[in-house]
Structures are given as C-alpha cells and as structure tokens.
Amino acid sequence: MKYLIQIYSNPESRAVWESFTPEQQVEGYSSYQAISSELTSSGELLASEALADISLAKRVTNDDGGTVASDGPFAETKELLAGFYLVDVDDEARAVEIASGFPEARFGLIEVRPVLEMTGGGDL
C-alpha cells in the first residue's frame, strides 16, 4: 500500500532548528539521509522531496477570465508542509513506524495518509 508521509514545520520546530549550530544542522540532515537510504535499500521509497520556502508558493485560480497565479503564502496557518516521503509498504503500521523516525515526530508534525488507489481509468 502507498502512503504519503507529510513532514510539517511550525514556529516552535523552526526555532529549535535555528538554535542548532551548523554542525548540529548537518547531523540533522544526516538523519533524513539515513532514513532515505534505508527506504531505498528496502525498496519502500517511491519519492521524497523537501519543499522550498512558503514565500515562493503560488496560488492558482482558473475561471472565465483565465488563469491567475498569485504570490504566496496564502494559507493562514502556523503549520506548513516542509517535505514528504511517498512510500510503498505492507501496511499502515509500517508507514507509522517510518514516520516515527523523523525528528518532527517529537512535535507532532508528521502526518501519514494512505494514497487513494484509483480503479478503472488509471492513477490520477
């Protein structure tokens, strides 16, 4: 089954990250590399990406007047999507196990969500 593991950031987690020395930040990044390497070796990793700063986001609206792309950020929220892992695992328990290994899990900033499997017309 496919699951999307979403990694969020909030002001508290950002403050912790920004308090780290450059060496501690390198160590923090290495934890993601270790998870990625493990999931690649096991064949469970389909994709993973870190997302650019929210200020670079675009909100796209399409109506009779055409398409408009507005500068972000546009959501009124304290938690922002920082990155994701798309995994293909045996069950939800394995997806949760993987998610628990991310540092953001200490802040409750990890969401595990099943991917909807489309039938008939192929995947969306």
Q: Tell me how far CA of residue 48 lies from CA of 7, 9, 103, in angstroms.
A: 11, 16, 16
**Which range marks the domain in which residue 12 is found?**
2-114
The pLDDT, as a whole number, for residue 77 is: 67
Predicted confidence (pLDDT) at residue 70 exceeds the cutoff of 70: yes
- For 82-110, write each residue's pLDDT tens digit: 999 999 999 999 999 999 999 999 888 99
Structure token pair of residue 80: 């922002």
The pLDDT, as a whole number, for residue 123 is: 56
Q: Is 50 within the bounds of a domain?
A: yes
pTM over 0.75: yes
The pLDDT, as a whole number, for residue 23 is: 94
How many whole angstroms separate alpha carbon 74 and alpha carbon 41? 38
Q: Is 73 within the bounds of a domain?
A: yes
- For 42-56, write each residue's pLDDT tens digit: 999 999 999 998 888
46: domain CATH number is 3.30.70.1060
Q: Is 120 within the bounds of a domain?
A: no
Q: Tell me how far CA of residue 78 lies from CA of 5, 64, 107, in angstroms.
A: 19, 33, 13
Q: Is 119 within the bounds of a domain?
A: no
- For 4-39, write each residue's pLDDT tens digit: 999 999 888 889 989 999 999 999 899 999 999 999
The pLDDT, as a whole number, for residue 33 is: 95
The pLDDT, as a whole number, for residue 22 is: 94
